[in-house]
Amino acid sequence: MSSGSPGVPGRGRLPAEVSRFIGREAELRAVDGLLEESRLVTVTGPGGVGKSRLALRAAAAAAAGHADGAWLAEVGAVQDPLLLGHAVLEALRLTDHTARPPLDVLVEQLADRRLLLVLDGCEHLVEACAELVDVLLRAVPGLKVLATSRQSLRVPGEHLVLLAPLSAEPAAPGTEAEAVALFADRAAAVLPDFRITAANRAEVSLLCRRLDGIPLAVELAAGRLRALSVEQITARLDDRFRVLTGGWRTAPPRHQTLRTTIGWSHELCSMQERLIWARLSVFAGGFDLDAAEYVCAGEGLEADEVLDLVDSLVDKSVLLRDGDPSAVRFRMLDTLREYGAQWLRAGGDEHRLLCRHRDWYLGVATWGEVEWFGPRQAETAERTRLAHANLRAALEFCLTEPGEEQLALVLAGTLWFYWVGSGHLGEGRHWLDRALALAPEPTGARAKALWVTGYMATLQGDLVRARPALEECRRQALDTGDDRALAYAVHRQGCAALIGDEPQRAAELFEEALWHYNTIGELNSNVLMAMFELGVAYLFLGDTERGDLWIDRVREICEEHGEQWAYAYGLYAMAYSKWAGGEIRLARAFARECVRLNHLFRDLLGIVLAMDVLALLETEGPDADLVEARVLQGAAHRLWQAVGTPFFGSRTFGGPHRECEQRARAGLTAQEFTDAFRLGTGLGLDAAVRRALGGELPGPPGAGGEGRSGPRPPARPSPVPAR
């Protein structure tokens, strides 16, 4: 028989808060809403993310709605599943001297109670906790359970709240990022005079980002201010598990250092889960299941096991799920990734996994280059953008691992479409310059890297670097009989001549390059760009008829193959041609469509060329708006700074800008002229594009798929001009 009674006071038993609760308003609302509608809510997330603190704050707010209050049962300290029921009885201040199972006692004594039970730290006893919760919820209609766990309980009726790390970026202008606010609060407890100021905000934000916004890590870092500055803590984060120790003595043992917090999760994993955790540490940023299966399979792990193991690590909050249902991706917090990498190195398997990672992303780049010429360009750009962090990691591996130099050239050169087409000229040159310096021997990979480097340097207006690289590529191609490299070298020499204000010489080189392309049967976006550039050269020479013939040829091939990137540049040429012919309405339509398409790819060069034409068009006709023209010039000026030398340093390409500037200066006061330009320079990319398009921002990359909205050139015969 039982003795005593629950004696549950109305307000329950929750510990008082001893430090300020920071942020988490949206998450608190989510938990509160779920507790209104359901009887089991589990807050999940990685170790140290603040699950317990959030649950206690939410329980305190919900306690008044339960006649018998809210109660905390700390499960984390219980190691034996058979003692779980006893621990819950003790937490609820229930006593029983019989030999009955504790679960039977709980059911009996809670039968007529209305309370909220917080089960904190369930992950290491997840099966026992799931059984206890399932039985209690079925038998005690007045009970609600709020659990915290690094993995779900998988009990019928369970609703999950995935708790992400705190953001290190402000939610709105003028506000403090939650991670930064937490650091400031905990730092002030160590150094009473500590404040976030203009002088230290950037460094604190960087530290919080490096710590993944994990509240435990942020608090441990703040505690280190007794002996280190913010800058010194950040500098030591390469060994974060040594730096981030020394938590509160009264904290649970698993929370006293970052290493033990993550080690707790590691101990809860099976051997196969630990193995794939270590192998997944080679990924930088996000990855999809296909990548994980290729990279991680082998040597004790079958490919068909990867799905279940990845799913299990998501459930245990080791992996985070990103993306929408049609494109699921995963990522691991840097802190968890570093822990896995230590195990990978200790197991002696790091080099093999890094090679497999390199091979996969070399495949991503190669396939992207192939698909760039076709209807899936926007999807290819987005897929490559998502792989960007891993491509960087693969490039770094190739550049630092002896014997990988040729693959570094291959990978950096193959990604030309991304460096050029998605606004990464500076980064592309960084990788190519490093690879070329390491591998001076005349190989096919070096030839491609040379013309890609010369191409990108030309687009940046850096002819001093472009011309020698292209000439070396041409010489090597002639020496080795590499007809493809020769075609590309001559083509890009034509580009250098075009922006060097030599349109006649440029036209001759483009004609020669197109002959080479035709001879070897090459047709892709580069060939289309040669046609476009030849058309532009003729337009600059005043030969509108021949220029329009080549531009129309570009249009035809683009529409036949669903190509959008080169088509967008063709639109720039169409806009220029129509402006020169006085057809302002068509010129504006073509220029706006050029901006829209290039924005899909984040191709800053294509955007800024068309934006300068749009600025000039604002000065035309009876509805001319000189202020708006000057605003667009200011916006274009800011974009040019991100591309390279404005107008490539070319007087020819800069012609529309100079004409617009002269008209605006003549029609505006000096103050209006200056203020409008300053307003434009203050616009970010999206705001500038929205302004150029008349207030409408294009959809995200990939929008529109194979279709293409916007103006079309008038139908007309488009013969291939003779060489």
> How sure is the predictor about 338, in pLDDT bands with cuts at 50, 70 and 90?
confident
Mean pLDDT across the stretch 209-220? 82
Strand segments (E) across 238-385: 320-322, 329-331
What percentage of the chain carries pLDDT values higher than 70?
90
* Tens-digit pLDDT profile for residues 461-473: 999 999 999 999 9
Q: What is the pLDDT of residue 486?
A: 98
* Rounded Cα distance, 459 and 188, in Å: 50
Tell which residue, 345, 370, 347, 195, has the closest CA to residue 271: 347
Mean pLDDT across the stretch 113-121? 93
What single-letter amino acid sits at 34?
Answer: L
* Rounded Cα distance, 391 and 133, in Å: 45
Mean pLDDT across the stretch 497-507? 95
Q: 3-class DSSP state for residue 550?
A: helix
> How sure is the predictor about 210, in pLDDT bands with cuts at 50, 70 and 90?
confident
Q: What is the pLDDT of residue 644?
A: 85
Those residues whose C-beta lies under 8 Å from the C-beta of residue 662, and which sit 6 or more positions away, are none
Residue 716 has pLDDT above 80, yes or no: no
Residue 681 has pLDDT above 70, yes or no: yes
Residue 155 has pLDDT above 60, yes or no: yes
Mean pLDDT across the stretch 621-636? 94
For the chain, give the number of residues: 723
Residue 344 has pLDDT above 50, yes or no: yes
Q: What is the pLDDT of residue 158?
A: 95
Write the burial class of residue 437 (CB in 10 Å: 0-12 exposed, 13-18 middle, 19+ buried). Answer: exposed
Residue 6 has pLDDT above 50, yes or no: no
Bigger pLDDT: 660 vs 260? 660
Residue 85 in tokens: 């029921």
Residue 194 in tokens: 């500590």
Mean pLDDT across the stretch 144-149? 94
* Rounded Cα distance, 368 and 378, in Å: 11
The CA-atom distances, in angstroms, between 422 and each of 377, 418, 598 are 11, 5, 8
Q: What is the pTM of this model?
A: 0.76
Q: What is the pLDDT of residue 234?
A: 81
Task: Give per-residue burial for 558-572: e unless 16+ CB within 10 Å, then b.
Answer: beebbbbbbbbbbbb
Mean of per-residue pLDDT scores for the chain: 87
Residue written as tokens 């089991």? 40
Pairing outcome for strands 320-322 and 329-331: antiparallel
Please give the backbone phi and psi of residue 13, each rounded to the nearest 5 degrees, phi first: -145, 100
DSSP 223-264: HGGGTS-HHHHHHTGGGHHHHS----TTS-GGGSSHHHHHHH
Q: Lowest mean pLDDT of 184-188, 215-219, 443-447, name the range.
A: 215-219
Q: What is the pLDDT of residue 46?
A: 83
Angle at 78 between CA 72 and CA 80, to 5 degrees: 140
Residue 586 has pLDDT above 50, yes or no: yes
Bigger pLDDT: 488 vs 646? 488
User: Do the Cβ atoms of 607 and 639 come closer than 8 Å?
Assistant: yes
Residue 711 has pLDDT above 80, yes or no: no
Mean pLDDT across the stretch 624-628? 95
What percentage of the chain carries pLDDT values higher than 90?
62
What single-letter amino acid sits at 598?
Answer: N
Q: 3-class DSSP state for residue 139?
A: helix
H or E element at residue 219: helix 215-223
Share of the chain residues as helix, strand and coil, in percent rounded to the nearest 5: 60, 5, 35
What single-letter amino acid sits at 66?
Answer: H
Q: What is the pLDDT of residue 22?
A: 86
Pairing outcome for strands 115-120 and 143-149: parallel
Residue written as tokens 């049609």? 326
How many Cβ atoms from other residues are within 10 Å of residue 242's Cβ?
Answer: 11
Residue 156 has pLDDT above 80, yes or no: yes
* Rounded Cα distance, 383 and 377, in Å: 10
User: Do the Cβ atoms of 253 and 206 come closer than 8 Å?
Assistant: no
Mean pLDDT across the stretch 179-205? 89
> How sure is the predictor about 698, in pLDDT bands with cuts at 50, 70 and 90?
low
Residue 708 has pLDDT above 50, yes or no: no
> How sure is the predictor about 703, in pLDDT bands with cuts at 50, 70 and 90?
very low
Angle at 598 between CA 328 and CA 652, to 5 degrees: 155
Residue 418 has pLDDT above 80, yes or no: yes
Residue 630 has pLDDT above 80, yes or no: yes
Residue 255 has pLDDT above 60, yes or no: no
Angle at 454 between CA 406 and CA 414, to 5 degrees: 40
Q: Which neighbouring-strand residues pair with 149?
A: 44
Residue 296 in tokens: 């991680």
Q: Lowest mean pLDDT of 391-395, 516-520, 678-682, 701-705, name the range.
A: 701-705
Q: What is the pLDDT of residue 503?
A: 95
Q: What is the pLDDT of residue 701?
A: 42
User: Do the Cβ atoms of 397 and 364 come closer than 8 Å?
Assistant: no
> How sure is the predictor about 712, in pLDDT bands with cuts at 50, 70 and 90?
very low
How many Cβ atoms from other residues are within 10 Å of residue 630's Cβ?
Answer: 29
* Tens-digit pLDDT profile for residues 542-567: 999 999 999 999 999 999 999 999 99
Bigger pLDDT: 704 vs 487? 487
The rounded radius of gyration (Å) of the Cα atoms in the chain is: 32
Residue 677 in tokens: 């330009």
Residue 249 in tokens: 């003595």
Write the burial class of residue 435 (CB in 10 Å: 0-12 exposed, 13-18 middle, 19+ buried). Answer: buried
> How sure is the predictor about 349, in pLDDT bands with cuts at 50, 70 and 90?
very high
Strand segments (E) across 259-361: 320-322, 329-331
Mean pLDDT across the stretch 16-41? 89
User: Do the Cβ atoms of 646 and 670 come closer than 8 Å?
Assistant: no
> How sure is the predictor about 239, in pLDDT bands with cuts at 50, 70 and 90?
low
> How sure is the predictor about 242, in pLDDT bands with cuts at 50, 70 and 90?
low
DSSP 646-691: GGGG-TTTTHHHHHHHHHHHHHS-HHHHHHHHHHHHT--HHHHHHH
User: Do the Cβ atoms of 653 and 459 come closer than 8 Å?
Assistant: no
* Tens-digit pLDDT profile for residues 270-325: 999 999 999 999 998 889 999 999 999 999 899 999 999 999 998 887 888 886 66
* Tens-digit pLDDT profile for residues 47-95: 888 888 899 999 999 998 999 999 999 888 787 888 898 889 888 888 7
* Rounded Cα distance, 442 and 480, in Å: 8
Mean pLDDT across the stretch 123-145? 94
